Amino acid sequence: MDDTEQRILDAALRVFASEGFTGATTRRIAEEANVAEVTLFRKFKSKKNLLKEVLINNRTVFSSMEDLFQLFQNEKDVNLETELRILGKNIAKAMRDKKKDSKRRMFMFMLFEEGRRRPEVSEALSSFLQMNIKPLSEYFDLQIKNGKMRTTNSRSAAITFVSYFVYTSLLREVFGDSFFGEHDEEIERFIDIFTKGILKAEEK
């Protein structure tokens, strides 16, 4: 990616965050990036494609997940619960780091809000989430094959795992940390429920 493309992506993030997808124009984004509008179209073809590239360019949480999966697959003797605890804490940390950037936070809120009304936004968000659920689903498939997990739908397990961190991050944004308590303690409780379930042994 060249400097011009990165400037356009950074500008698009800021404009989408402040104006929303509907209100943002390619002319405004080009002005923010200090490039000609024709340059924006030459690089990204359309506003819809630009939105997809902004999502890919801001996938910090999931990039760190992929690095962890590689590490886990090389450590055959590590306990699955320990691996998920490490993964969960890294996801939570990445999301907390992202919260410090108000533009990225506003951008994500825009996606969920406008995704309900704009098919192109919903499509871009869905594609992004699918792309990032896949490595976790494959990781769970590996653990099922290795006998560390019971046979279950790995994609549903991956969605459940990631959804917890996305949802709690949004709730913390609204209610603050006092709603949940200390991050690491809350993650410990979630990992315990996720890996062991809620039924007593005699009820299973």
Domain containing residue 153: CATH number = 1.10.357.10
Q: Do 63 and 149 reside in the same domain of the chain?
A: yes
Q: Do 93 and 156 reside in the same domain of the chain?
A: yes
**How many domains, the chain?**
2
Q: Do 183 and 98 reside in the same domain of the chain?
A: yes
Q: How far apart, in Å, are the Cα atoms of 137 and each of 18, 91, 133, 159?
A: 34, 16, 6, 8
Q: Do 43 and 74 reside in the same domain of the chain?
A: no
Q: Do 98 and 7 reside in the same domain of the chain?
A: no
Sequential pLDDT tens for the chain (204 residues): 789 999 999 999 999 989 999 999 999 999 999 999 999 999 999 999 999 898 887 765 445 555 555 555 555 566 888 888 888 887 777 777 655 566 777 787 788 788 888 888 888 878 777 777 888 898 899 889 988 899 999 999 999 998 898 788 778 777 777 777 788 888 899 999 999 988 887 665
Q: Do 7 and 89 reside in the same domain of the chain?
A: no
Q: What is the pLDDT, as a whole number, of residue 117?
A: 84
Q: Do 68 and 50 reside in the same domain of the chain?
A: no
Domain of residue 21 covers 3-57
Place of tokens 């995704």: 115
